[in-house]
Amino acid sequence: MYLYPGCERLDLTHYDGYTIGMKTAVSIPDGVFEKAERFARRMKKSRSELYSRALSEYLARHAPDHVTEAMDQVCAELGAEPDAFVSTASRRVLERSEW
């Protein structure tokens, strides 16, 4: 078994390809490609790993439902009980703030 970042465990005994994951072709501007190549070499990462991580980060930043779900989970774990100290401190800060 092999654990690939972001994927379930894969059983490689039934794997016929030479790469793990989906292969795809994309077109990007030459300048972006050249910068990515330099960055990948400097970071000692493969082009595939660089693009995969970049796309994963982009999706995480632009998936509002995922962010909302994560924040909802944190709020649920913290509970809905008001914290007296936080409430008092917040009120004092707001009272001193110019609106």
Cα separation, 17 vs 56, in Å, equals 23
- pLDDT tens figures, 42-95: 999 999 999 999 998 898 888 777 778 888 888 888 877 778 898 899 889 989
pTM: 0.48
pLDDT recorded at residue 32: 96
Show Cβ contacts of residue 2 under 8 Å, excluding neighbours closer than 6 positions. 9, 10, 12, 20
Band (3; pLDDT cuts 50, 70, 90) = very low
Asked if residue 17 has pLDDT above 60, the reply is no
